[in-house]
Amino acid sequence: MSKSSTSPARVVSLPGLPYVFGDPALLEQALTHRSHGYRHNERLEFLGDALLNFTIAALLFEERPDAPEGDLSRMRARLVRDRTLAQVARELGLGDHLRLGPGELKSGGYLRESILADALEAIFGAALLDGGVDRARQLVEALLRPRLDALPDVDMLKDPKTRLQEFLQARGLNLPEYRVIEERGADHAREFTVSCTVDVLDAPVQATAGSRRKAEQAAARAVLERIEAEQQR
């Protein structure tokens, strides 16, 4: 980075970013991780996160007039989670422009999902300060539009236990029964094996994971896959 803050060579945009900053210092700050220095991007991230959530909420509200509130929440969660934002950031090559402290640089921080997602949110916040709410919302929409259009079926956004329960309830069947079969390993590396029993399958299905909750979800997912496979026979 240039030492002179009035250098004409300062970056005002990034390749692929459909926004040109009037104030390059804002973009610079958005790309600065707190490990790098005092003027870092955490406050901008707070602002950009709020703008992002609002923009996506308004788009989903408008474009999914029949979706109940719960579905809107799930769709938004999918779009604003770190994983999605980090993908968008990677497509923009954001990692190459991040300003990280030496520790983060060595540990590959420029690849970390949360750092990339936070920087993208900070860019949204910087655009809000730079160009106002309408242009910043347009930027958010431009970057998220492909994901917005490609949202999976609403039901697939629910977790496996919820989906399994709804599947069974819709058919008037009993709720699934979860049971912890085995707990093993030391405290810091515990493993839970859970069985899930449902009326429509002959035998219980088992799954193992690092927490009881995760093992139950994994078992429910396995049951759903088993049911699907049997239906396709």
Chain-centroid distance of CA 41 in Å reads 19
Question: Interface with a second copy includes 154 (CB under 8 A)?
Answer: no
- Amino acid letter, 79: L
Question: Interface with a second copy includes 72 (CB under 8 A)?
Answer: yes
User: Nearer to a second copy by C-beta: 125 or 160?
Assistant: 125
Residue 49 annotated in active site: yes
* Contacts (CB under 8 A) with a second copy, residues 209-228: none
| x/- letters, 106..125, toward a second copy (CB under 8 A) | -------------------x
Find the catalytic residue in 49, 118, 130, 216: 49
Question: Interface with a second copy includes 73 (CB under 8 A)?
Answer: yes
Question: Interface with a second copy includes 37 (CB under 8 A)?
Answer: no
Find the catalytic residue in 45, 104, 118, 121: 121
> Using the rule CB under 8 A, which residue among 11, 20, 58, 142 binds a second copy?
58
Question: Interface with a second copy includes 47 (CB under 8 A)?
Answer: yes
Question: Interface with a second copy includes 133 (CB under 8 A)?
Answer: yes
Residue 216 annotated in active site: no
Active-site positions?
49, 121
